[in-house]
Chains A and B, each alone.
Chain A
């Protein structure tokens, strides 16, 4: 699937495909293919180096972008999924379990988006209900009890705005996670991989390090929501995306995140393997770092970090 602004990429890729089909009968097209490939590379780089905030939102929401299952499959071994909040049920919009990252045993928790319609219906498009946030907290406390660091992968348009979610205390579930994560006696690393949608993202997003993929976004409200409130017109979302400062570089400047994980030109959806390598490298560095710090110091620094936001 191509995004609107990827038209030039689409055209070049189509041309290359057509010519490649002719390669058998006409070997002379090879040089043309090669030059087109160079052109494609340059075009992709140019487009991706100059993404507007609104275009970045499109990339962050790309249906082919890696989900938590892809990260688990590529970065971790020995994954053991754990289900349920021990109170109401199991929320497939949040996935979690034990996993091994290189020499570290950890607890992995993240929003689950799907890639197909059926997938997405099952995991509710990554929009968690209270039982999802409560499962996440249960697993985090389990991790702390057995001295395992927690890694969270954030990718949600927001907490599910449904009647049942309200009735089971969406607000309370998120609030409790914020309080408990701020004092959880084990290291927590959070990675915003796609959409960081407001309270639904923050509900598993309090930690010692907040990392963010280059084309991910993180915001207090969706650009569409912001536009419909400010301009009474959802189609002004591109302007809202600009005003909200929701891109990784803007958030780094505001000190909300600690590091940007680079994505290859063309985005994580086009180059998942290269993206995994970049995530692995950054994770390794930060995990060694937090593992080498005493819990006491870590908790004080975590507290100070949030205390200083907005000062």
Chain B
């Protein structure tokens, strides 16, 4: 005890408290050693639950180290409707979100390499207003697609979104058409596009670019669908099965090519990219 307290006195800053060392799985509530969990890209070692990743974490997971070059860092939220509700204005809410997340929009875009293969990558971040599709989000994705087209580089979009951004009204809806129009050109040019639908990908995002990949890939247990579960239950006045709108369920109904565990995702994408770019067999 004596030497211990002495050591403690000397060391600054203080040792991490227990809450920083440990965390619990948001699905099974199991106690997790945080460092290990983060090293496993936030997949629970007990139940396998894939926790949401931030855009930065996802980029680190997928790309070769230090290969990422970000695009359009100045594009931010715009407020075409001057939207207000009782709790305040959308503009204020957006400012708070920007501060909280350190992001300017719900997507981070750029180029990078995956085992040397040059790719354009767009990653949505659910922490930013639920990953909703605002006009800034749409613009960044649109530009990333055009960049991929100009340079004939494979495109990867990692979606995580509740859908359209209500506060931007019809302009948000139009981002679905805008991004899909850009994908039409990419499709015609024969440039590969892999869509990765992560938990959750629903509404206007699933009904536009997320479902339009040459390949649509998801992670275990991710919610993928169009209408919300509650809305459907109210419409049909029945309870839906638990597995409804999970990635596995959507794959079994024919809308996803594969459901890939996060630990295998990068390797799987690289293997697929070699086919899509017909890279020389080593």
Contacts and interface: CB of A to CB of B under 8 A. Distances in A.
Given A171-B226, A219-B170, A310-B178, A179 B184 contact: yes
B207 A174 contact: yes
Contacts of A231: 85-86
A202 B172 CA distance: 12
B131 interface: no
Contact of B172 (A161, A220, A311): A220
Nearest to A130: B226
Interface residues of B, number: 60
A166 B252 CA distance: 12
A119 interface: no
B149 to A, nearest CB: 12
Q: Place the interface of chain A in its size category.
A: 35 or more
B209 interface: yes
Contacts of A178: 176-177, 180-181, 207-208
Nearest to B252: A167
Nearest to B85: A230
A91 to B, nearest CB: 15
Interface in B238-282: 238, 240, 244-245, 253-255
Nearest to B83: A243
Given A172-B255, A183-B181, A310-B178, A220 B207 contact: no
A247 to B, nearest CB: 11
Interface stretch (B51-59, B106-114, B134-142): B134-142
B121 interface: no
A45 to B, nearest CB: 28
Given A166-B226, A183-B188, A243 B85 contact: yes
Contacts of A170: 207, 226-227
Contacts of A221: 164, 166
6 closest cross-chain pairs (CB), A and B: A310-B135, A161-B227, A182-B181, A178-B180, A171-B206, A171-B226
Interface of A: 159-163, 165-172, 174-176, 178-180, 182-183, 198-199, 202-203, 205-206, 218-221, 226, 229-231, 239, 243-246, 251, 254, 256, 302-303, 306-307, 309-311
5 contacts: A165-B227, A167-B253, A168-B253, A306-B181, A307-B182
Given A161-B231, A175-B176, A231-B86, 16 more contacts: A159-B226, A162-B235, A163-B236, A172-B211, A175-B208, A180-B184, A182-B184, A199-B176, A202-B177, A220-B170, A243-B83, A245-B169, A306-B174, A307-B182, A310-B174, A311-B135
